[in-house]
């Protein structure tokens, strides 16, 4: 089997789908690996390192690839779509492959008869944990969000005892206690802040408190998570009670980090403009849901703005700002997924549509789309 590691072309994307350490493991498993020149440079991995790991560094190798490894979904560049470069019938492993909502991607996948597998659709089951890209990237985003907040706040996070008196610790409010939220809580606590965590799922209370934070939630009157363990949309009445609770907590907070996402849907609106107006002057909001519409009504994706005296950050692709380790983690997930597909005896990729993991990720195969409308 021949695998090709593509250089990312999306603006601001510094990650790479394979690093020298994972290339070495692929080669030992019997996979022939080729890397596009410069593919890892933005993440801190030189072409020479890939060669030492056993890979060929050659853009022309794409023409012979059985499987192409990427981070971002293929894009149109000038007059040519990235998928036009792939050999007909090849497999593509990447993030964000949504042919049902991208007409050109849909057409190209069918035209080129590409087998496309979207890693962000990995199911949340025990045997897929080492392939869980969303959790790997969410950990990084949660950590980095606190550093952004600390830099923007203009106050100390920890309590300080000085000759001039005591400096009280910053109060950090984290909305959403998934992987990103829990990492944000842990990081803010390590910096010495007083932290409060909020989530619509009562089951995460113990996790939040184990990190030294206070947990707040409305009384559970309905199921707030789906069968995969992700948060789901709640009723209008439950949403109203949540907003009231969030509004009260925000008034007393120096920093709010929002992480709430509902898969395949717009991010839930948790912080309204009126709530922001009631916050302390100089407070900070870091909206990790900016790319999916934002948890804060005033968030502008990709921008840092000030509204009602509150600094609001809407970072996009935040994990790319830590490209070295983000690439390491992503590449390990890719490696585990690729080896899950790899038929070692036949030395080829074997896409088993009956496998629970493969079925969840498979979006196109043999000229047809695989996911339901």
Q: Cite the active site residues.
A: 124, 129, 132, 135, 230
Instruction: Measure the CA–CA gap between 344 and 30, rounded to whole angstroms.
Output: 7
Angle at 361 between CA 356 and CA 362, to 5 degrees: 100
Whole-number Cα distances in Å, 291 to 100, 139, 186, 235, 298:
19, 17, 23, 24, 13
CA distance 143 to 138: 9
Structure tokens belonging to residue 239: 């949403």
Distance from C-alpha of 235 to C-alpha of 372, rounded to nearest angstrom: 26
Residues 6+ apart with CB under 8 A from 166: 159, 160
Whether 291 contacts 234, CB under 8 Å: no
């Amino acid at each position: 089997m021949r695998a090709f590691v593509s250089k990312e072309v999306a603006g601001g994307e510094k990650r790479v789908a394979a690093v020298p350490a994972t290339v070495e493991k692929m080669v030992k498993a019997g996979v022939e690996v080729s890397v596009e020149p410069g593919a890892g440079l933005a993440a801190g991995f030189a072409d020479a390192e890939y060669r030492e790991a056993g890979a060929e560094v050659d853009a022309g190798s794409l023409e012979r690839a059985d499987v192409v490894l990427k981070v971002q979904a293929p894009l149109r560049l000038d007059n040519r779509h990235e998928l036009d470069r792939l050999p007909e019938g090849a497999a593509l492993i990447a993030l964000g492959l949504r042919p049902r909502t991208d007409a050109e991607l849909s057409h190209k996948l069918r035209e080129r008869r590409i087998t496309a597998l979207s890693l962000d659709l990995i199911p949340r089951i025990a045997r897929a944990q080492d392939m869980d890209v969303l959790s790997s990237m969410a950990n990084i985003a949660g950590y980095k969000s606190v550093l952004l907040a600390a830099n923007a706040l203009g106050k100390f996070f920890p309590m300080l005892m000085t000759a001039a008196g005591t400096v009280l610790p910053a109060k950090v409010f984290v909305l959403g206690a998934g992987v990103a939220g829990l990492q944000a809580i842990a990081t803010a606590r390590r910096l010495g802040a007083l932290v409060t965590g909020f989530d619509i799922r009562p089951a995460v209370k113990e996790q939040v408190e184990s990190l030294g934070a206070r947990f707040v939630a409305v009384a559970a009157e309905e199921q707030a998570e789906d069968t995969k363990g992700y948060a789901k949309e709640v009723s209008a009445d439950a949403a109203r009670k949540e907003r009231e609770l969030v509004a009260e907590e925000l008034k007393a907070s120096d920093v709010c980090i929002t992480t709430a996402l509902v898969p395949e849907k717009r991010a839930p609106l948790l912080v309204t403009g009126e709530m922001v107006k009631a916050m302390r002057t100089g407070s900070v909001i870091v909206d990790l849901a900016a790319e999916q519409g934002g948890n804060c009504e005033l968030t502008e994706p990709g921008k840092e703005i000030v509204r009602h005296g509150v600094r609001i950050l809407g970072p996009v692709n935040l994990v790319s700002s830590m490209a070295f380790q983000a690439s390491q983690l992503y590449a390990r997930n890719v490696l585990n997924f690729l080896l899950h597909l790899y038929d070692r005896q036949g030395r080829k990729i074997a896409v088993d549509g009956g496998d629970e993991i493969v079925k969840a990720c498979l979006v196109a195969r043999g000229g047809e789309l695989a996911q339901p409308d």
